[in-house]
Amino acid sequence: MANAAPRPLTILLASPRGFCAGVERAIAIVKQALQRNGPPVYVRHEIVHNRYVVDELRAMGAVFVEDLDEVPEDGIVVFSAHGVPKAIPAEARSRGLLFADATCPLVSKVHREVERHHRAGRTVLLIGHAGHPEIVGTIGQVPDGSVVLVETVEDAERALVPDPERVAFSTQTTLSLSDTGQIVAVLKRRFPALQGPRNEDICYATTNRQRAVAAIAPTADLVLVVGAPNSSNSMRLVEVAREAGCPRAELVRTEADIDWSWLDGVKRLGLSAGASAPEILVERVVAACRERFAVRIEEVRLAEETIYFKPPPTPLRKAS
């Protein structure tokens, strides 16, 4: 008896998806440091929140650490794309370490913004997730007590500041647009003098990926987002898919995470990837689907991304 023909499956491929300019720049900085100096090159924290990327760089000779104490005196260290508190480069300089700062330029913009508000005597209400490296780095740009973290609408309702006439807000760059909007609305109601960013803090790549997922979600039976559980922007894409009307949305690190029972009865599968997930992981999900279904790809493109962030000069280890 002949095998039954594979069931048809339409994959709605969200675009833009995957790597953004800040992630590409950060990875390029580590690779350039390795090419110029040879291994090891130390990287403080995961350069981006993706295990595949981290493992690839580790295989090339990158050594990932959480503290500068783990970097030897003659070491070269790269700071991750999420940004670091001011105390970290200061410590590196005091030890005479060579370092490259891979902080995304859009995160650096938020840092400068928070500093500007602090110099003007304003308390900054920072919208974001406690403990996320980007938030830790942003809070660390100014003295303790200068920033109040706001994670939820409830936090916004009860946030206290020394002077309600001198207050501003900034946001983590990888948040959900809808969640941020609700929080900002509460803060504006409570603090009429509230000052905001000169330009939107949520980065172009986060916005584009969320809008692309929101476009495919209403007609998809299931949305898969390729990304890491500790990747804020990837987790937000899952939330956006659900909010936009998809009955189910799941995060997968690779095709190995897919529970194929999820696709029982699924005719239209939405697929995207967080800003720190390489395209090869998306391709592997598509290939795994082709092994099981008669796949038809339908790409839904909402924007063209042409932004490029040039890496800074790479430090060169002195000859011994």
For 32, other C-beta atoms within 10 Å of its C-beta total 18
Rounded Cα gap, residues 104 and 155, in angstroms: 27
DSSP type of residue 96: T
Rounded Cα gap, residues 135 and 130, in angstroms: 7
Evaluate whether 149 touches 126 at the Cβ level (below 8 Å).
yes
Burial class (CB in 10 A: 0-12, 13-18, 19+), 66: exposed
- H-state helical runs in 103-258: 105-119, 133-139, 153-158, 177-190, 204-216, 232-243
Query: Among 24, 46, 134, 255, which one carries the catalytic annotation?
Result: 134
Helix (H, G, I), strand (E, B) or coil at 98: strand
Q: Does the annotation count 151 as an active-site position?
A: no
Which one, of 173, 159, 61, 155, lies nearest residue 107 by Cα?
Answer: 173
Which residues are catalytic, by number? Answer: 134
